[in-house]
Amino acid sequence: MLKDRLDRADDTHANAIVSESHISERRGKLIYWAITLSTISALMVCFVIASLFASFMFRYSGRLFVSSLFIVAMFSSIISLVLFLREVFLAIETFEIALPAKKRTATA
């Protein structure tokens, strides 16, 4: 969609379209990594639970393994939430409603 607009745009609008394209690409990467890390975190929590059940059933101590999985899960979750929050800030920063100035102040 942006590529079609870029082909038809004049020079003044072309720079804005290229900038919008770069921002969209950056937002996409942030969302991708946030979802990936969130999924890793959820999987690590599942492994922690499975490890706890297995250690109880087979009567072995998996303290180091379980605590390592939990630490990885927490770091993944924290980084995922930070990336998601950064994407939200980026979205709000670039958000613009194309209303004339008179209509913007009329309802405010």
Asked if residue 44 lies in contact with residue 73, where contact means CB atoms within 8 angstroms, the answer is yes
Residue with tokens 């004049």, as numbered in its chain: 10
Please state the pTM of the whole predicted model.
0.73
- Which tokens sit at 24? 């969209």
Q: How far is residue 3's CA from residue 21's CA, in Å, rounded to a whole number? A: 9
- Taking the chain (108 residues) in runs of 10, the rounded mean pLDDT of each run is 71 78 90 96 95 90 90 96 94 72 55
Residue 104 confidence (pLDDT): 54
Residue 28 confidence (pLDDT): 93
C-alpha angle 94-77-85 in degrees, rounded to nearest 5: 15
Residue 36 CB partners (closer than 8 Å, separation 6+): 80
At position 10, the amino acid (one-letter code) is: D
DSSP conformation letters of 42-56 = HHHHHHHHHHHHHHH
Dihedral sign of CA atoms 9, 13, 14, 20 in order: negative
At position 31, the amino acid (one-letter code) is: I
